[in-house]
């Protein structure tokens, strides 16, 4: 409980953003949601130590999600040129000061996180591709592959170095954490039917898991909002419950005599492993204790093991499954860094092995392999990934001959679960209210046109604008982009000059190159700036309106916006279907789309579409009569 | 030679498009190049039988590329609703009659091809992602995964069924074709240096391979243009050369006494396998003959084998490597279906094993594993894929512990080779003159704006246009899209109504719903058509201008184009950087982009950009003074 409180205090007081898995946040960031503090240095520190404390406290949580978040945080720290606050800066890192390269770097960080958590370099690349990234380029594939190759090499040398056993639990399992390669994977039609059953049930239980996690999260968010003390209290309660399960439930399990033909010690006392003695007499072991009073990794290894088919009683497996399923649901959402992979794998493996035992007379496949397939079905049912899970499980277990079965189970469980609800990460993103932009347009968007959802009023600037007007607009609104319209005498008729960004306006105003009259000054002051002045600053570090110091006299002066205007923003015509505009917006990864009028002779811009204008809440709020699924 | 002539005759006379690998063509098709006959049913038939004959004739060619092409052809046949010519049609397949679903289906076909060729279901998905597809959606990932899962299940049952040995070479190797799992993959720093050397040399040799293949292809295309007879003659010459190498070179190799501690028969006589007797005395074998006088698969298995380190003399390996490298280069491009994977793997494996033997005293890694890494380095050096090759090799050899090394070698060889030239498939796409649209904009495009490359003259229609004018435009040009401009009295001032497609115009004209006067008829004739009437027809099966039968009187009548006009085409402003327009065009997978004027008061459209306007040849032809790499 002390460890649990440490983790809880760190999370609740220093960096609340470090609680939970972190994968939904990274996913949203890579989709373009630049939420504050998601990837801040303080989050990084708390994530690392909080995760260590949380896992050590014996919670049913994994270190995988936090590792992905950690990787992304480190990448972000590098991407914004280090941390000025902690005096860690590198000048050459300024090349990452733009959205795309920083996003690429963070994708690589997430891939590295998975690669190191599961010791699965290829799985890391695929996870980054399938789950994390929203935009994919072949260059990015290459970069993530490079990152995880480095991870693999480093991991391999560390494992080599730790072979002596000096590194605690680190070296265990080698590069392949749960080796099941020894099992003989021959199967017949009865096995196939059993496996389909695993897939279907796994899908149902997986989607139920998502449903429960969602409900619990909503309940917890009410408690957590009351303040850090309540957060820590919640951590203590869950920690108590976990301990009660771990130390209480094994008393209900019967003792089993040690099998005689074993290579390993039985019972093991005083270290993590198999065949726990617990309350039993000499030469006996307690199956349930072997699962509970172990590291999560060792419990999984025991469940995947195929050396002793009858190692665990059916009742022990059932109790463990129910307890882990329940604890997994109530643990996610408390104020500690908590991954979802391990709880899901634990529950899935015990469920699979349980089903394997129950179907023992019917199916000939090994119970360890049943455990593996059960884990696959649960992962498919909650996370809804396909290729990446398949490769991660392959790299975890080194059992290539199981591949066809694994693919089958993943497909079935994902299909079944998809008919109930969304993947767990998508659910969390939505629950957190992050404006995630889906890859496809929603069906109801076809009934609307672009101008239907433009939220007004539109604030636009003249090509040469009065400083006071700009400052007023920047202060009054939180818009990040403003259209610039050229009017006579700079154009024959009002025409759309382009789009200027808030951050660029702030840099321009800060330089105070104003003129008394309304004249073009294009070339004169461009020499004053360097391209990097307009680069994207680190999160929370750019200029703010409040930083500007502009006096009354300057307010009446003019500034030429042409040099900082993007003169060819992407535009859509007002009558374009909203679905089509959404595709443009999403595929090109835009932040602003200008809506222009269809007929000439009207003002040259109708409105600006931003991410929020495409959100279902906004659209359905404006048009409540639209059927959302038609 | 008879088999070779059969393959050559099939290719030269029936379907010239079936020659070669097929992967470049599939890649170009998925990029949007709808070239005729690439995926026609006749190509499919010739590809299957030609590939069987070609491989059986003993050429140094693979079946992998042709299998990908075969998969894509079958998918295309399904996608266009079967073949009317061969009376194989299904009505429900009409749902695939649009570009996107057909493209998805063909991607799945290509993935299935790789999955079955290498028995690598996950590798198939990744190949389709990394090499074949140009646009990627998560739905597509799921679909290809489903396809290859089915492939894996079917393969697995067939292998189970063929265990009795009745299926010839099919069952060999089981699901894992070249199992090297028995070797012990421990390595030290010296090994790492040796492996880096393999990567660097493999990259250089791989890019040299690409260079030579390109030169040979250009030479062959001159010969092949002279007619089918010359094509077949070329096949005969190459077949002769191959036979000379296979039966001639082993005479130069010395005989080796059979090792005594073997599980397998030595020497083997009369069947494919290891330890060929050839001209040697009883109890001896000829190493070079064991490589040449074998199926390609068995030769690769021999090179990857780690049971007998000294099985092949250094000289035998060198001769085999040189011969296969040379034969691989001269075989690709003759009129037979020929994959590139097997020649590259063969050359790479012999090169790797050779290097392993040469560095034997220095490095401790097994020579079989050196062979595997050599194959990886060659594949990386020629094909330039990363993740997919890695997974394919993993699934081919079932050696997960080699993964870090494999990644390292692939990265090094790809990086080295990329500094010389492009990947072999990209080269072939370019050499064939297919207008492939790269994912990124070329650097010189930033110096140009969209209107710079619009090729005129622009042909546009009125909202209600005279039939004669439309017919004239359709006959005189080969444009596929025409802008429609609304003029008074249908609008206050000329405005861009939208874009109509040639195929839709043809369907409309064919229905002959014309009016005597210039009036809107919107709703009246819309009921005459069904959405499927405007669906995309199978390749070469749509209406043509010549099919229309319109008399003099009808030529003077009018037709309302509004109902078939896309009223919100994607547009760019004329001053937009060409690079930005290229990104829009490529990311959204467009065929036409309308270029609109910046200032009001001019005609509402400046031009239309199509795929050809973005091709380097076109742009650099218009502006020869631009530096292409700046």
| A62-82 residue pLDDT tens | 889 999 999 999 998 888 776
| B573/A576 CB distance under 8 A | no
For residues B428 and B217, is the Cβ–Cβ distance under 8 A?
yes
| Least confident window among A7-11, A360-364, B329-333 | A360-364
Give the whole-angstrom CA distance, residue A398 versus residue A391: 10
pLDDT for position A94:
67
B361-370: pLDDT as tens digits:
888 888 888 9
Over residues B581-586, the mean pLDDT reads 93
Q: Rounded mean pLDDT of chain B?
A: 87
- With CA atoms as reference, the chain B residue closest to A132 would be B138
Q: Which of B138, B141, B407 sits opposite A149 (nearest CB)?
A: B407
Chain B partners of A138 at a C-beta cutoff of 8 Å?
A: 130, 439
DSSP secondary structure code for residue A53 in this structure: H
* Whether the predicted pLDDT of A157 surpasses 80: yes
| A152/B493 CB distance under 8 A | no
pLDDT for position A411:
94
* Whether the predicted pLDDT of A7 surpasses 90: yes
* Whether the predicted pLDDT of A259 surpasses 70: yes
**pLDDT > 90 in chain B, percent:** 45
Per-residue tokens: B310: 């000294």
For residues A106 and A39, is the Cβ–Cβ distance under 8 A?
yes
Interface residue A49 vs chain B (CB under 8 A): no
* Whether the predicted pLDDT of B89 surpasses 90: no
| A492/B138 CB distance under 8 A | no
B111-157: pLDDT as tens digits:
999 999 999 999 999 999 888 888 888 888 889 999 999 999 898 88
Interface residue B165 vs chain A (CB under 8 A): no
Q: Which of B175, B493, B598 sits opposite A601 (nearest CB)?
A: B493
Per-residue tokens: A70: 């950690």
pLDDT band of residue A83 (cuts 50, 70, 90) is: low
Strand, helix or coil for residue B543: coil
Over residues A55-68, the mean pLDDT reads 91
Give the whole-angstrom CA distance, residue B386 versus residue B409: 10
pLDDT for position A544:
83
Over residues B312-339, the mean pLDDT reads 92
CA distance to B187, B281, B318, per residue, from B286 (Å)? 31, 10, 14
pLDDT, greater one: A94 or B411? B411
B509-557: pLDDT as tens digits:
888 878 888 877 766 666 777 777 777 776 667 788 888 888 888 888 9
β-partners of residue B483 are B499
Over residues B313-322, the mean pLDDT reads 92
| B587/A587 CB distance under 8 A | yes
Q: Write B353-361 long-range contacts (CB < 8 A, 24+).
A: B353/B303, B353/B312, B353/B317, B354/B314, B354/B317, B354/B318, B354/B321, B355/B194, B355/B197, B355/B198, B355/B201, B356/B194, B357/B312, B357/B314, B357/B317, B358/B314, B359/B194, B359/B197, B360/B309
β-partners of residue A482 are A500
pLDDT for position A347:
96
pLDDT for position A365:
83
pLDDT winner (highest mean) among A168-172, A317-321, B300-304: A317-321
CA distance to B155, B378, B415, per residue, from A139 (Å)? 33, 21, 12
CB half-sphere exposure, B533, CA atoms < 13 A: 14
| A400/B386 CB distance under 8 A | no
Per-residue tokens: A325: 């399923």
- With CA atoms as reference, the chain B residue closest to A589 would be B587
For residues B266 and B51, is the Cβ–Cβ distance under 8 A?
no
Structure-derived torsion over alpha carbons of residues B514, B520, B522, B526, reported in degrees to the nearest 10: -10
pLDDT for position A156:
84
Residues 442-461 of A with CB under 8 A from B: none
Give the whole-angstrom CA distance, residue A91 versus residue A83: 11
| B175/A390 CB distance under 8 A | no
pLDDT for position A84:
65
A566 phi and psi angles, rounded to 5 deg:
-80, 105
* Whether the predicted pLDDT of B269 surpasses 80: no
pLDDT band of residue A397 (cuts 50, 70, 90) is: confident
Per-residue tokens: A578: 């909203």
Sign of the torsion angle spanned by Cα atoms A221, A222, A227, A233:
negative
Interface residue B576 vs chain A (CB under 8 A): yes
Cα angle B462, B468, B473; round to 5: 70
pLDDT for position A150:
93
CA distance to A257, A609, B577, per residue, from B595 (Å)? 81, 21, 12
| Least confident window among A130-144, A416-430, B226-240, B271-285 | B271-285
B214: left (phi over 0), alpha (psi -120 to 50) or beta: alpha
Distance from B287 to chain A by nearest Cα, in Å? 32
Interface residue B142 vs chain A (CB under 8 A): yes
| Least confident window among A102-106, A109-113, A522-526, B502-506 | A522-526
Q: Rounded mean pLDDT of chain A?
A: 87
Over residues A379-386, the mean pLDDT reads 93
Whether the ω angle into residue B267 lies within 30 degrees of 0, i.e. cis, is: yes
Task: Provide DSSP, A389-439.
Answer: HHHHHHHHH--GGGHHHHHHHHHHHHHHHHTT---HHHHHHHHTT-----S
Per-residue tokens: A292: 């509970």
**Helix, strand, coil percentages for chain A (3-state, nearest 5):** 55, 10, 35
Over residues A111-115, the mean pLDDT reads 95
pLDDT for position B183:
60
Over residues B408-436, the mean pLDDT reads 93
- With CA atoms as reference, the chain B residue closest to A142 would be B386
CA A493 to chain centre: 49
Chain A partners of B570 at a C-beta cutoff of 8 Å?
A: 572, 584
pLDDT band of residue B214 (cuts 50, 70, 90) is: very high
pLDDT for position B162:
81
- With CA atoms as reference, the chain A residue closest to B154 would be A404
A419 phi and psi angles, rounded to 5 deg:
-80, -10
Task: Provide DSSP, A303-353.
Answer: HH--S-TTSS-HHHHHHHHHHHHHHHHHHBTBSSB-BSHHHHHHHHHHHHH
**pLDDT > 90 in chain A, percent:** 45
| B575/A567 CB distance under 8 A | yes
Residues 596-615 of A with CB under 8 A from B: 598-601, 604
Over residues B291-317, the mean pLDDT reads 86
Give the whole-angstrom CA distance, residue B352 versus residue A239: 55
Give the whole-angstrom CA distance, residue A35 versus residue A429: 12
| B398/A400 CB distance under 8 A | yes
Over residues A217-243, the mean pLDDT reads 93
pLDDT band of residue A241 (cuts 50, 70, 90) is: very high
* Whether the predicted pLDDT of B281 surpasses 70: yes
Over residues B50-60, the mean pLDDT reads 92
A558 phi and psi angles, rounded to 5 deg:
-115, 155
Residues 320-359 of B with CB under 8 A from A: none
CB half-sphere exposure, B16, CA atoms < 13 A: 12
pLDDT for position A524:
63
Give the whole-angstrom CA distance, residue B157 versus residue B161: 6
pLDDT for position A333:
87
H helix intervals, B521-569: 522-526, 552-555
- With CA atoms as reference, the chain B residue closest to A133 would be B138
Per-residue tokens: A104: 């690429």
Per-residue tokens: B130: 């990394």
Give the whole-angstrom CA distance, residue B571 versus residue B596: 7
DSSP-derived pairing of the beta strands B571-573 and B593-596: parallel
Chain A partners of B495 at a C-beta cutoff of 8 Å?
A: 598-600
pLDDT for position B525:
65
Cβ partners under 8 Å of residue B68, min gap 6: B21, B22, B23, B26, B110, B113, B114, B117, B127, B132
Structure-derived torsion over alpha carbons of residues A85, A87, A93, A99, reported in degrees to the nearest 10: -10
Across the A:B interface, residue pairs with CB atoms under 8 Å apart total 161
Over residues B456-484, the mean pLDDT reads 89
Interface residue A573 vs chain B (CB under 8 A): yes
pLDDT for position B173:
67
For residues A175 and A163, is the Cβ–Cβ distance under 8 A?
no
Closest CA to A397 of A273, A264, A301: A301
| A394/B588 CB distance under 8 A | no
ipTM: 0.89
A348-366: pLDDT as tens digits:
999 999 999 998 888 888 8
| A145/B411 CB distance under 8 A | yes
DSSP secondary structure code for residue B128 in this structure: I
| Least confident window among A7-16, A36-45, B340-349 | A36-45
pLDDT band of residue A240 (cuts 50, 70, 90) is: very high
């Amino acid at each position: 409980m002390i460890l649990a409180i440490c983790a809880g205090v760190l999370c609740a007081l220093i960096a609340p953003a470090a609680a939970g898995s972190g994968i939904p946040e990274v996913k949203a960031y890579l989709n373009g949601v630049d939420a504050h503090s998601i990837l801040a240095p303080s989050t990084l520190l708390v994530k690392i130590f909080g995760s260590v404390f949380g896992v050590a406290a014996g919670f049913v949580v994994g270190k995988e999600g936090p590792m992905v978040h950690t990787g992304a945080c480190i990448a972000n720290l590098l991407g914004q040129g280090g941390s000025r606050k902690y005096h860690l800066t590198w000048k050459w890192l300024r090349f990452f000061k733009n959205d795309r390269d920083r996003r690429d770097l963070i994708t690589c960080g997430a891939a590295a996180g998975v690669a190191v958590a599961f010791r699965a370099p290829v799985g890391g690349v695929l996870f980054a591709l399938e789950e994390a990234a929203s935009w994919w380029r072949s260059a990015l594939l290459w970069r993530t592959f490079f990152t995880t190759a480095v991870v693999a090499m480093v991991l391999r040398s560390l494992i080599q170095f730790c072979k002596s056993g000096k590194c605690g639990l680190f070296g265990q399992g080698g590069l392949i954490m749960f080796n099941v390669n020894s099992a003989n994977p021959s199967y017949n039609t009865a096995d196939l039917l059993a496996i389909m059953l695993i897939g279907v049930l796994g899908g149902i239980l997986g989607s139920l898991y998502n449903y429960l996690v969602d409900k619990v999260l909503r309940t917890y968010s009410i408690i957590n909002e009351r303040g850090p003390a309540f957060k820590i209290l919640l951590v203590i309660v869950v920690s108590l419950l976990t301990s009660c399960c771990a130390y209480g439930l094994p008393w209900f399990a019967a003792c089993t005599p040690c099998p005689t033909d074993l290579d390993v010690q039985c019972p093991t006392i005083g270290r993590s492993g198999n065949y726990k003695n617990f309350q039993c007499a000499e030469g006996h072991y307690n199956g349930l204790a072997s699962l509970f009073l172990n590291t999560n990794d060792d419990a999984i290894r025991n469940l995947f093991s195929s050396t002793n088919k009858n190692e665990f009683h059916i009742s022990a497996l059932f109790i463990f499954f129910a307890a882990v399923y329940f604890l997994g649901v109530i643990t996610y959402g408390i104020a500690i860094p908590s991954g979802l992979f391990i709880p899901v794998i634990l529950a899935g493996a015990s469920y699979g092995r349980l089903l394997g035992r129950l179907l023992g007379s019917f199916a000939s496949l090994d119970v360890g392999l049943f455990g593996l397939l059960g884990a696959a079905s649960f992962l498919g049912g909650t996370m809804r990934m396909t290729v990446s899970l398949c490769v991660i499980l392959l790299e975890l277990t080194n059992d290539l001959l199981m591949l066809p079965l694994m693919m089958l189970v993943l497909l079935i469980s994902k299909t079944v679960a998809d008919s109930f609800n969304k993947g767990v990460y998508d659910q969390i993103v939505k629950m957190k209210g992050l404006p995630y932009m889906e890859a496809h347009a929603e069906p109801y968007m076809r009934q609307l046109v672009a101008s239907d959802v433009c939220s007004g009023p539109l604030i636009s600037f003249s090509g040469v604008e009065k400083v006071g007007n700009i400052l007023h607009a920047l202060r009054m609104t939180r818009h990040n982009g403003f259209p610039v319209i050229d009017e006579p005498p700079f154009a024959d008729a009002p025409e759309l000059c382009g789009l200027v960004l808030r951050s660029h306006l702030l840099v321009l105003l800060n330089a105070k190159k104003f003129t008394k009259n309304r004249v073009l000054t294009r070339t004169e002051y461009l020499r004053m700036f360097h391209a990097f002045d307009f680069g994207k600053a680190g999160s929370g570090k750019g200029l703010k309106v409040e930083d500007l110091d502009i006096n009354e006299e300057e307010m009446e002066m003019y500034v030429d916006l042409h040099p900082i205007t993007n003169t060819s923003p992407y535009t859509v015509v007002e009558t374009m279907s909203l679905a089509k505009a959404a595709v443009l917006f999403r595929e090109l990864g835009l932040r602003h789309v200008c809506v222009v009028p269809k007929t000439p002779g009207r003002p040259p811009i109708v409105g600006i579409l931003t991410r929020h204008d495409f959100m279902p809440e906004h659209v359905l709020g404006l048009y409540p009569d639209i059927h959302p699924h038609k």
